[in-house]
Amino acid sequence: MRAFGYDIDQLVIAHVLLAVIPVIAGLAVALPLGWWAHRSRIARRVLVPLSGALYTIPSLALIVVIPIVLGTGILSPVNVAVTLTIYTLALLVRSVAEALDAVPEHVTTAAVAVGYRPTGLLLGVQLPLAVPVLTAGVRVASVSSFSLVTVGALVGIDSLGTLMTDGFSQDYPAMVTTGIVGSVVLAFVFDALWLALGRALSPWSRARTGV
């Protein structure tokens, strides 16, 4: 579908890829770090504040600096993806640690008593029970990612944010509105998908709440 001289479908696909891939990558990195923070007080005192501090770095500054560090082109979508992965990591290290903290101690004690080792305990007991709390953190990271993707348009990386920046420069309110509404709708859609996935992975939680 074309509108305002742009292929809207391509912009939507680019926006989704730039938002979703960093959430998945950030979660993959945050899981072992959050588990470490859950297991060690010293690690928690270092990792949680340090990861949280990453979120205070201005996104545009990161997008500009990352090409220098990685050697990518200034217009490479990788710069936005890496930036958003860092922000996802910043949000999820604490979330993972708190999700594992929420698992009842008597459950982990019983699992250890019947022979679960650390890896099996994490994958077979703690993570499944931590899904509801962890899902909440992933949903926050997802909404943040979908909103921050638009910043990349300021340095020429295509997404729905392109409609906003070009619409402002051309004084074209309809184009700006389309970019804003499209970004918000995508954020809501994927928030609903993450929620549905979390509920699918924790059916006992639905049974307990009657949802």
Task: Write out the chain in H/E/C secondary structure.
Answer: CEECCEEHHHHHHHHHHHHHHHHHHHHHHHHHHHHHHHHCHHHHHHHHHHHHHHCCCCHHHHHHHHHHHHCCCCCCHHHHHHHHHHHHHHHHHHHHHHHHHCCCHHHHHHHHHCCCCHHHHHHHHHHHHHHHHHHHHHHHHHHHHHHHHHHHHHHCCCCCHHHHHHHHHCCCHHHHHHHHHHHHHHHHHHHHHHHHHHHHHCHHHHHHHCC
Q: What is the pLDDT of residue 1?
A: 78
Q: Does any domain span residue 82?
A: yes
Task: Encode pLDDT of 131-143 as tens digits.
Answer: 888 999 999 999 9
67-71, 122-126, 170-174: segment of lowest average pLDDT: 122-126
In a domain, 35, yes or no: yes
In a domain, 208, yes or no: no
Residue 211 has pLDDT above 80, yes or no: no
Domain assignment present for 192:
yes
Give the pLDDT mean for 159-165: 90
Enclosing domain of residue 150: 2-203
Interval 99-128 mean pLDDT: 77
In a domain, 78, yes or no: yes
Residue 211 within a domain: no
pLDDT band of 20, cuts 50, 70, 90: very high
pLDDT in tens, 170-189: 888 899 999 999 999 999 99
Please state, rounded to an integer, the average pLDDT across all residues of the chain. 87
Q: What is the pLDDT of residue 195?
A: 92
In a domain, 209, yes or no: no
Per-residue pLDDT, 204? 64
| Domain CATH code at residue 193 | 1.10.3720.10
pTM (two decimals)? 0.87
Is the residue at 93 inside a domain? yes
In the chain, the number of structural domains is 1
